[in-house]
Structure 1
Amino acid sequence: MTADNRPSLLSVRPLTIEDAEAVVSLSTQLGYPSDAETMRGRIHQLAKSRDRIAFVAVFENAVVGWADASIERHLQSPEVVELGGLVVQEGHRGLGIGRRLCEAVEEWALQQQIPRVRVRSQIKRQDAHRFYLRDGYVHIKTSEVFEKRLD
């Protein structure tokens, strides 16, 4: 049975500061370790922005996934909501939890009157690529990412 078939056991709600420790654990599974204090600071900053949102999936009273998104505005292109991160706890994947988190982000995008959601995914995350394609996302380009440290 999937989480989608047991809606009373699965809920998706906005992220709160109390979710910090669960989000740290999930972020580590995604490959981005952190600590609870740092995460609480990030959640606090996110909550102050009208252009950002994060949701958690709660299954059987435990946080088992999260997604965050932001509105991206650039001169050269229309606004888009970018799904910045999505993770579902190992052992709970394949139950429809990721889909429910994406739906929450998509609903938020429409509430912001932005009809597109974009996601960037590392080339090594083949399982994630298959998930997004199954969920209706279309692969539109492949690019390189460059970063310059300023510290």
Structure 2
Amino acid sequence: MRAADAPRLVELLAQLGYPSEPGTVGRRLAGILESATQHVLVADEGGRLAGYVGVERRPALLHQDEHAEITGLVVDAAARRAGLGRTLVRAAEQWAARRGLPAIVVRSNVVRPESHPFYEGLGYLRTSTSHSYFKDLTAGGGRYRWAAGP
């Protein structure tokens, strides 16, 4: 992934119901690309970004040791069901294994039931369900936009 991929990334995110502005995605992407603990891997089809997976090294104190977490997976709608998602997940697993991380976690929203058998088919076990909560910490409240997704 390169900073120049931000406009295409906006298109892919919109396919999952996360409309974004190119400038916002570009800023976020720049931070991830500079991060020592996060990585983005891409699927390229003929020079066009067809999908991506974000993976992150996660230290933990609670119930898990340090592990990797898949933070995002998107495959272009026109390229789905061709194995790109599976390939991207495997690449994230390899990234984690090369860093000596013993496990990888992925979270899948309950409103995306089609993704649950996908991950289970790759050997992932459902370990919990949870709710996500959000609180705006900006001075006036409401200035920070949180995309809860579909």
1:141 maps to 2:128: yes
Gapped regions of structure 2 (runs ≥ 5): 139-150
For 1:20, the equivalent position in structure 2 comes to: 6
Gapped regions of structure 1 (runs ≥ 5): 1-14
- Which TM-score applies when normalising by structure 1? 0.86
1:56 maps to 2:42: yes
> Larger relative CO (CA 8 A, sep 6+): 1 or 2?
1
Secondary structure (helix, strand or coil) at the match of 2:97 reads: helix
Partner Cα separation in structure 2 for residue 59 and residue 46 of structure 1: 23
Partner Cα separation in structure 2 for residue 42 and residue 73 of structure 1: 21
For 2:24, the equivalent position in structure 1 comes to: 38
Partner Cα separation in structure 1 for residue 59 and residue 134 of structure 2: 19
* Bigger strand share: 1
1:112 maps to 2:111: no
CA RMSD between the two structures: 1.1
Kindly provide the CA deviation profile for residues 51-91 of structure 1, in whole angstroms up to 9, marking residues without a partner as x.
00011111122111111111111212201111011011112
Which residue type is aligned with residue 30 of structure 2?
A: H
For 2:57, the equivalent position in structure 1 comes to: 71
Partner Cα separation in structure 1 for residue 89 and residue 114 of structure 2: 16
For 2:147, the equivalent position in structure 1 comes to: none
Partner Cα separation in structure 2 for residue 59 and residue 136 of structure 1: 26
Q: Of 76, 97, 122, which residue of structure 2 is paired with 1:89?
A: 76
Partner Cα separation in structure 2 for residue 31 and residue 73 of structure 1: 29
Partner Cα separation in structure 2 for residue 82 and residue 146 of structure 1: 19
Partner Cα separation in structure 2 for residue 46 and residue 16 of structure 1: 10
Which residue type is aligned with residue 90 of structure 1?
A: A
1:122 maps to 2:83: no
Q: 1:3-14 residue pairs with structure 2 within 5 A?
A: none
- Report how far residue 25 of structure 1 moved: 0.4
Secondary structure (helix, strand or coil) at the match of 1:54 reads: strand
- Report how far residue 142 of structure 1 moved: 1.1
Partner Cα separation in structure 2 for residue 63 and residue 148 of structure 1: 33
Q: How many residues align?
A: 137
